[in-house]
Structure 1
Amino acid sequence: MRLSHLITGTVLAAGVGLATYLTISKQDPLTWGRHVKQQAKLTTKNINTVKDAKEQLNQSARNLATAIEDAQPAFDEIQSAVDKFSFKIAPRLETIESTLDQMNNR
Structure 2
Amino acid sequence: MRLSHLITGTALAAGVGLATYLTISKQDPLTWGRHVKQQAKLTTNNISNVKDAKDQLGQSAHNLATAIEDAQPALDEIQSAVDKFSFKIAPRLEAIESTLDRMNSR
Q: How many positions carry a matched residue from both structures?
A: 106
Give matches, 1:1-106, under 5 Å.
Answer: 1-106=1-106
Q: CA RMSD in A?
A: 0.9
Structure 1 distance, partners of 2:103, 2:36, is 84
Opposite residue 98 of structure 2, the aligned amino acid is: S
Structure 2 unaligned runs (5+)?
Answer: none
CA-to-partner distance for each residue in 1:45-72, whole Å, 9 max, x for gaps?
1110111111111111111111000000
Query: Identity over aligned residues, as a percent?
Result: 90
Opposite residue 66 of structure 1, the aligned amino acid is: T
Structure 1 unaligned runs (5+)?
Answer: none
TM-score, length-normalised on structure 1?
A: 0.95
Misfit runs of 4+, over 2 Å: none
Structure 2 distance, partners of 1:61, 1:105, is 55
Structure 2 distance, partners of 1:26, 1:100, is 87
The alpha-carbon deviation at position 24 of structure 1 amounts to 1.3
The alpha-carbon deviation at position 6 of structure 1 amounts to 0.8
TM-score, length-normalised on structure 2?
A: 0.95
